Structure 1
Amino acid sequence: MRKPLRFFPLPLLLLCLICLHPFRPEPAANSKPYGVFIGLETADLKRLRPYRTVVIEPSSFSAEQVKALQAEGKNVYGYLNLGSIENYRPYYERFATITLAPYENWPEERWVDVSSPVWQTFVVNELGAAYAALGLDGFFLDNCEVYALYPREDIFNGLTTMLRGLNRYQKPCIINGGDVFVSACIENGTARTLFDGVNQESVFTKIDFAKNRYVAQDTETRTYYLDYLTRAKEAGLKVYLLEYRPTAKLAAEIQDYCEKNGFVAYLANEKELR
């Protein structure tokens, strides 16, 4: 038997539609201070919408895309790897002979001999120039930890040579990690002449690569990093944290600590930073 049609009053009909398709507002543009999205595909640009400062992989973006992000009020930093090289980079074979050792937990990556003038010139005159031409607001410089692994004067000088070279593009630089190198620069008084801020990963959290999970950082390491970041702040550097999938309780602790100390944190969902 065919059921008779029923006509609902308009307000009731709207209520039914809302229940079937609840309204989910888009996150407010630029409502969050900072996010690192090195693994982001350009098809997922909407992920960047809530952030005021974003770090991207510049080789995946065009100048027009960078400009569009800036038109939304964002500061756009480009990732630049100073101390290691990934085997998927189109220039990997050019520099394979000056690599030093495998990068632990990242099988596609190797440390580079940054004392090599060939590498220094490439980073500054080719990569740096190409990325600056995109119109980026700054550089996010990775893997200065090479100095901690190879604490030699020529390695230290290689890093400082590249930093001074990149300064010609007049863009602020954030050093990701590299606490031993950064501490040496603070001690000799050159830090503020070479870079503007530091980003430290895994202060409150860490990645358990063996079990592919995210856990709380041990107390000794956390204390070390917080002391280091306090010294960086006192030296006039901006301080950023990058944490991986903290619990809700730990996330609240991180945000509270950063607010009290003038730091900025990004809480990532995964190590791939998509």
Structure 2
Amino acid sequence: MPYPALGNSNPKNWVVYYHNELPPSAFEDYDIVVFDSEHHPSIQSVQAAGATVYGYISLGEVEQYRSHFEAVKKDGILLRENVNWPGSYYVDMRSRAWTERVIYELVPEILRSGFDGIFIDTLDNPIELEQEDPVKYRGMADAAAMLVRTIAAEFPETKIIVNRGYEILPQIAASITGVLGESVYTTYDFEEKRAKPTTKDDYTYQVDMLKSLKKINPDLIVMTLDYWDISDTQRVRELYAKQRSNGFLPYV
């Protein structure tokens, strides 16, 4: 089975930017750039500098400010609000209406804008909901995996990076270009409003999982995102070195 390939076959760095204030020149040193799909600098200018540019799409929840929020609300497939992100609502990924909206509307809109691929976020949501209530949310995780595979099948030339969703990654690794392990060594505590280390068990689980995916898809790009105070330059350097030693492409 041919695996999706990145525009740059050997990327050295990457960045996520969800605003539109910075000029395209700010991204000329990056190989992989992830922009918000609706608000972003010039895609073509960043591509001209050599980057592969991905458009953000949230599959596990929908934010109120998104242009498709009211339509999804009318479909009757929104669940409860995400307490960590007020104004963002979980979506029932088992819904045929959601699959059709993603396949026939949301992904095509991103690609028509000129993006090289899509960056899929919030795949942890369906997994956590099913773990929370296995009866009420039965099939949510499998539905999430199926939706990612369907996107890959419907848009075979499109590059796909997914953020986390560890429990379903073995099911989709062969269908995607890259995976982002967010909060691998450090995380952001919403209650304490600060960055702090993850537990040893959580770190080990994530690293082992990410490394195992390379056995399924040898060409998979494994990226990591850790959180820390950037003024603590020594610690930031240590985090970069730690993740590079794991064979990952880090960002702190």
Q: What is the distance in 2 between the residues matched to 1:52 and 1:82? A: 25
Q: 2:228 aligns with which of 245, 250, 258?
A: 245
- Are the structure 2 counterparts of residues 209 and 110 from structure 1 closer, same or farther at C-alpha, using a change threshold of 3 Å? same
Provide the rounded CA distance (Å) in 1 between the counterparts of 2:109 and 2:223. 26
Question: Is the contact made by 1:214 and 1:245 (CA closer than 8 Å) also made in structure 2?
Answer: yes
- Deviation (angstroms), 1:123: 0.9
Tell me the distance in 1 between the aligned counterparts of 2:138 and 2:158.
26
Aligned-residue offset at 1:116: 0.7
What do the CA deviations read for 1:157-176 (whole angstroms, capped 9, x no partner)? 43234323322321121110
Larger Rg: 1
More helix, by proportion: 1
SS at match of 1:244: coil
> Normalized against structure 2, the TM-score is what?
0.81
**How has the CA–CA distance of structure 1 residues 108 and 46 changed in structure 2, closer, same or farther, with 3 Å as cutoff?**
farther
Does 1:223 find its partner at 2:204?
Answer: yes
Aligned to 2:71: 94
**Of the candidates 1, 4, 14, which is equivalent to residue 34 of structure 1?**
14
The Cα shift of 1:261 comes to 2.9
Q: Any idea what SS the aligned residue of 1:239 has?
A: strand
Runs of at least 5 residues in structure 2 that lack an aligned partner in the other structure: 1-10, 131-136
Q: Calculate the TM-score normalised by the size of structure 1.
A: 0.75
> Per the alignment, do residues 57 and 231 of structure 1 end up closer, same or farther by CA in structure 2, a change over 3 Å counting?
same
Query: Where do residues 40-79 of structure 1 align in structure 2 (5 Å cutoff)?
Result: 40-61=19-40, 65-79=42-56
Give the match's secondary structure for 1:104.
Answer: coil
Q: Which moved more, 1:94-103 or 1:168-177?
A: 94-103
Q: Are the equivalent residues in 2 in contact too, given 1:32–1:50 (CA < 8 A)?
A: no
Q: In the alignment, residue 33 of structure 1 is paired with which amino acid?
A: N
Task: Give the counterpart of 2:110 among 114, 124, 131.
Answer: 131
Once the 2 structures are TM-superposed, how far is the Cα of residue 32 of structure 1 from its aligned partner? Answer: 5.9
- C-alpha contact 1:120 1:158 (8 A) present in aligned 2: no
Partner SS state of residue 232, structure 1: helix
* Residue of structure 1 equivalent to 2:134: none
Q: Percent identity?
A: 28
Distance in 1 (CA, whole Å) between partners of 2:236 and 2:22 is 28
Check whether the contact 2:93–2:140 (CA below 8 A) recurs between aligned residues: yes
Q: 1:103 offset after TM fit, Å?
A: 1.6
Structure 2 counterpart of 1:195, from 159, 169, 176: 176
Give the letter for the 1:256 counterpart: A
Equivalence map 1:97-176=2 (5 Å): 97-151=76-130, 154-167=139-152, 168-169=154-155, 170-176=157-163
Q: Cα distance, 1:54 vs. partner?
A: 0.5
Give unmatched runs, 5+ long, in structure 1.
1-30, 268-274
1:256 is displaced (CA, Å) by 2.0
Task: Please report the RMSD computed on the Cα atoms of aligned residues, expressed in angstroms.
Answer: 2.2
Distance (Å, rounded) in 2 between the aligned partners of 1:164 and 1:133? 20
Cα deviation 1:218-262 (Å, max 9, x = unaligned): 222212211211212332232110112254343233322333332
**Paired AA for residue 209 in structure 1:** F
Change (3 A) 1:177 1:119: same
Q: Secondary structure of the residue that 2:86 maps to in structure 1?
A: coil
- State the 1:61 CA deviation: 3.9
Q: How far, CA to CA, are the matches of 1:212 and 1:45 in structure 2?
A: 31
The answer to whether the 8 Å contact 1:85/1:111 transfers is yes
In terms of mean alpha carbon deviation, does 196-205 or 231-240 score higher?
Answer: 231-240
- Output the CA distance in 1 between the equivalents of 2:209 and 2:12: 25
- Give 1:43 shift: 4.3
Aligned residues of 1:144 and 1:177 also touching (Cα < 8 A): yes
Q: Distance in 2 between matches of 1:202 and 1:157?
A: 23
The secondary structure found in structure 1 opposite 2:161 is strand
